[in-house]
């Protein structure tokens, strides 16, 4: 069966991760490439002793040289397999009963579809393909989405930087249908407008859905500082929960303008809002020097450490913003601090924040830990899928 199939033969002892069902094969683990597989082609992965390990998509230009489709030798990698994985992923999302018409429908390796991400924003689907294997099955994936969501608009956002590492050109634009003037979504009874063509990620931070509601519950009668506010989702949830005031800081004036629109869209009081287009690191120091104090501070920065190699540099950035924020927090106040850096473990993030608390000379208690929403599932075999971590901290007197 494997005789004429392109095959990756691993170095001795490098099969251990695959035996634990981890879905990646790094190029340094490969001893030999048999046949002439092209980018995205299905290859067999075998141990040095010749034992079958997995069927995977080959990516010769990436450090991750192969991403596993299946660990079963008797399973064929074809359109039917892709369809089964799609249907299983959609069934899982239906089970979650998410209180929103915006959610992640497909989450790559966690759903057995490496490099495939599909987000739903009301009647608009956003497709993102980030691996050579996913790209090879693009037509099948588009047809599956058309069949499962016949009335939906399909927009492609295959413009992530990781495509360059896979040797792929970016692709962005309409695949099917016509975008409405404004893509409006509902989240826990609140409404937001999503720019699927130019917004961060695929347009909105769906992974923070439940966290926004949980943090908002602590905003009542407090002065709130929302850092890296983007389009103001944490701001809107805080105002809706009864915040006395919210100062929103972001480097993008365009994002803050949309945040203002969200306040109006949800019929919240704009007089309780203050907006600052500024570098957050500099603005935190400016607020400290002004003697400002807040009862709730939210730190939701962009990715500082995409890889483990960048963790040390990222640690300095996280330490900086958390230390300065802690000095702005009044006794009895709440700090919600996040990291979406996949290269930074939850344990290391907590140690960084604890170090900041020590330097701030303040006592903090851990109220809760945060993670990504359940429609961004984490497979026990693939811990790298767990990228979002956060801490909810109470400052003592």
Q: What is the pLDDT of residues 318-374, one digit of tens each?
A: 999 999 999 999 999 999 999 998 878 899 999 999 999 999 999 999 999 999 999
* For residue 20, pLDDT beyond 70: yes
Residues 235 and 359 in one domain: yes
Confirm if 267 and 294 have CB atoms less than 8 A apart.
no
CATH code at position 316: 3.40.50.150
Beta strands 124-129 and 102-107, pairing class: unpaired
Give the pLDDT band (50/70/90) at residue 54: very high
Residue 11 within any structural domain of the chain: yes
- Average pLDDT score over residue span 162-181: 93
Please tell me the distance from the alpha carbon of residue 245 to that of residue 100, in angstroms, as a whole number: 26
Confirm if 140 and 69 have CB atoms less than 8 A apart.
no
pLDDT at 119: 98
182 in helix, strand or coil?
A: coil
359 in helix, strand or coil?
A: helix
Residue 188 within any structural domain of the chain: no
Residues 84 and 63 in one domain: no
Residues 177 and 220 in one domain: no
Catalytic residue, candidates 68, 105, 241, 340: 340
- Average pLDDT score over residue span 123-129: 98
Give the pLDDT band (50/70/90) at residue 314: confident
Residue 290 within any structural domain of the chain: yes
340 tagged catalytic: yes
Percent of the chain with pLDDT over 70: 97
* For residue 1, pLDDT beyond 80: no
Residues 361 and 267 in one domain: yes
Residues 64 and 92 in one domain: no
Beta strands 116-121 and 124-129, pairing class: antiparallel
pLDDT at 2: 47
pLDDT at 4: 76
Confirm if 55 and 68 have CB atoms less than 8 A apart.
yes
Confirm if 108 and 23 have CB atoms less than 8 A apart.
no
Residues 85 and 148 in one domain: yes
Residues 245 and 384 in one domain: yes
Residue 224 within any structural domain of the chain: yes
Residue 194 within any structural domain of the chain: no
Residue 28 within any structural domain of the chain: yes
Residues 113 and 25 in one domain: no
Residues 120 and 149 in one domain: yes
* For residue 306, pLDDT beyond 70: no
Q: Which residue has the higher pLDDT, 311 or 208?
A: 208
The parent domain of residue 363 ranges over 205-395
pLDDT at 396: 92
Residues 101 and 237 in one domain: no
| Total structural domains within the chain | 3
Q: What average pLDDT does the chain have?
A: 95
Residue 102 within any structural domain of the chain: yes
Residue 2 within any structural domain of the chain: no
Residues 295 and 374 in one domain: yes
* For residue 305, pLDDT beyond 90: no
Give the pLDDT band (50/70/90) at residue 80: very high
Say what the pTM is: 0.93
pLDDT at 26: 97
* For residue 310, pLDDT beyond 80: no
- Chain segment 195-248, per-residue pLDDT in tens: 999 988 899 999 999 999 999 999 999 999 999 999 999 999 999 999 999 999
| Domain boundary, last residue among 21, 46, 70 | 70
- Average pLDDT score over residue span 63-84: 97
Residues 85 and 53 in one domain: no
Please tell me the distance from the alpha carbon of residue 125 to that of residue 141, in angstroms, as a whole number: 12
pLDDT at 343: 79
């Amino acid at each position: 069966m494997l005789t004429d199939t392109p095959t990756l033969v691993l170095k001795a002892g490098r099969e251990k991760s695959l035996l634990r069902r981890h879905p990646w094969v790094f190029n340094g683990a490969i001893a030999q490439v048999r046949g002439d597989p092209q980018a995205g082609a299905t290859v067999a992965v075998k141990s040095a002793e010749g034992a079958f390990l997995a069927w995977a998509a080959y990516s010769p230009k990436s450090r991750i040289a192969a991403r596993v489709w299946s660990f079963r030798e008797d399973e064929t990698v074809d359109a039917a397999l892709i369809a089964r994985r799609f249907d299983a992923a959609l069934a899982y999302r239906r089970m979650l009963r998410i209180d929103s018409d915006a959610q992640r429908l497909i989450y790559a390796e966690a759903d057995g579809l490496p490099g495939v991400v599909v987000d739903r924003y009301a009647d608009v689907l956003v497709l993102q393909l980030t691996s050579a294997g996913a790209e090879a099955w693009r037509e099948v994936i588009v047809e599956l989405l058309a069949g499962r969501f016949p009335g939906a608009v399909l927009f492609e956002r295959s413009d992530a930087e990781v495509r360059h590492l896979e040797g792929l050109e970016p692709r962005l634009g309409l695949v099917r249908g016509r975008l409405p003037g404004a893509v409006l979504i509902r989240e826990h009874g609140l409404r937001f407008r999503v720019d699927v063509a130019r917004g961060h990620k695929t347009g909105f931070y769906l992974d923070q859905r439940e966290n926004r509601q949980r943090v908002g519950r602590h905003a009542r009668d407090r002065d709130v500082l929302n850092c890296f506010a983007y389009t103001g989702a944490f701001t809107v949830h805080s105002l809706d929960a009864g915040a006395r005031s919210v100062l929103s800081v972001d480097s993008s004036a365009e994002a803050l303008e949309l945040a203002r629109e969200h306040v109006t869209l949800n019929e919240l009081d704009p007089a309780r809002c203050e907006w600052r287009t500024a570098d957050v690191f500099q603005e935190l120091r400016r607020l400290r020097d002004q003697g400002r104090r807040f009862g709730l501070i939210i730190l939701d920065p962009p990715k500082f450490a995409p890889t483990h190699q960048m963790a040390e540099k990222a640690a300095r950035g996280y330490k900086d913003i958390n230390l300065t924020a802690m000095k702005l927090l009044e006794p009895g106040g709440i700090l919600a601090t996040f990291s979406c850096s996949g290269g930074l473990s939850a344990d290391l993030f907590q140690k960084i924040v604890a170090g900041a608390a020590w330097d701030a000379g303040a006592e903090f208690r851990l109220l809760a830990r945060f993670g990504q929403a359940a429609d961004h599932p984490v497979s026990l075999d693939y811990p790298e899928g767990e990228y979002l971590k956060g801490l909810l901290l109470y400052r003592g007197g």
